[in-house]
Each structure stands twice: as C-alpha cells, then as structure tokens.
C-alpha cells in the first residue's frame, strides 16, 4: 500500500484504529467536506456519505492493526 510506504519514508506511524478515529471525527466537519470538493473532477455527482462509507469499509481496512471500536459501519 503506497500510503504505508509514504508514512514509513516520512518516519511516521499510524495504526488502523488511529486513522479510523481521525477519519470518523472529520465526518461531520463542514470544512473537511468543503476541502474534498476541489480534489474531485468538475461536475462530478457524488455523495459524501456514500464515499465515506466506501473508504471506511474498503480502504482503511487495509491498514494493519485492530479497528477502532468507536464506530460501526
């Protein structure tokens, strides 16, 4: 996973639980949601909540470690 190599090269460590907690805490942050918009293709019809669930269920699970116990999909 490129993300894990990026973190290793930068001398950083993050567990799956830490990443999940941080991601979940940003879910209701209006500024976080606004920051995502410019990263997407123009005129892209997308749903933040669907994308959030997809990322949590399919990508973050690839990070080694135990899941955060504070949120259920």
Determine whether 9 is exposed, middle or buried from the number of CB atoms within 10 Å of its CB (0-12, 13-18, 19+).
Answer: exposed
Confidence check: pLDDT of 26 > 90: yes
23 contacts 56 by C-beta, under 8 angstroms: yes
What are the residue ranges spanned by the domains of the chain? 2-62
Which pair of tokens denotes residue 6? Answer: 């990026």
Please report the pLDDT score of residue 49 as a whole number. Answer: 92
Which pair of tokens denotes residue 35? Answer: 């920051």
pTM above 0.85, yes or no: no
Find the mean pLDDT for residues 53-72.
90
């Amino acid at each position: 996973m490129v993300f894990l190599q990026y973190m290793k090269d930068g001398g950083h460590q993050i567990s799956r639980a830490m990443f999940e907690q941080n991601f979940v805490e940003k879910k209701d942050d209006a500024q976080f949601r606004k920051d995502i918009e410019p990263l997407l293709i123009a005129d892209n019809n997308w749903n933040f909540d669907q994308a959030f669930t997809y990322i949590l269920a399919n990508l973050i699970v690839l990070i080694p470690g135990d899941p955060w116990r504070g949120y259920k999909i």
